[in-house]
Amino acid sequence: MRDAQQRPELVEQMRLDLRRTEMGFTTLEFIRVALAKHEVSKKGSKKPIAFAPGLARPNRWCGSMEYELSNGGAIISYVTRRDIAETIRFIPEAENPSDEDLAGFRAYMNPPDVEALGG
C-alpha cells in the first residue's frame, strides 16, 4: 500500500491491467462456476442453472474440448480449452479494450432475464 501511495503510476498500471484481463477472466470464471456449482456466474441471489455444465465436446476444427456458455435459457457462446489457453498466453500482448468494448462484453455476458412462455 505504501508503494501505491508513493507511486500513483502503479495504481494506474494496475487499473489498465485489470481492464486488459477482464474479458478473459470473466469467461474463465463463467466456466469455472458452471462446472463447479452447476449454475451461472451472475450477481444476485437468483442464479440460473447451467444447462450443460460438464458437457464438453471436441471442437471440429482444432480438436480441443469445447464448453457451452449458457445464461438462463440462452446459449450465449462456446469456448474451447484452446481459446482459454490463448487468452492467458496473450495477456502481456493484449490491447487495452475501449469502454464500449467492455460495456458490450458485460451486456453480452449478462443478457436480460426472459421468462418462459406461459409462466
Sign of the dihedral through C-alpha 87, 25, 104, 112: positive
Cβ count near 30 (within 10 Å): 22
Is 114 part of any domain?
A: no
Is 115 part of any domain?
A: no
Is 59 part of any domain?
A: yes
Amino acid symbol at 39: E
| Model pTM score | 0.75
Question: Rounded to an integer, what is the distance from CA 89 to the centroid of its chain?
Answer: 16
DSSP label at 118?
T
Instruction: Quote the number of domains for the chain.
Output: 1
CA distance 53 to 36: 8
pLDDT (tens, 9 = 90+) of the chain, 119 residues, equals 777 778 888 888 889 999 999 999 989 988 888 788 776 666 666 666 667 777 789 999 989 999 888 877 778 889 999 999 999 999 989 899 999 999 999 988 876 665 555 54
Structural element, H or E, at residue 7: none
Domain that holds residue 28: 2-109
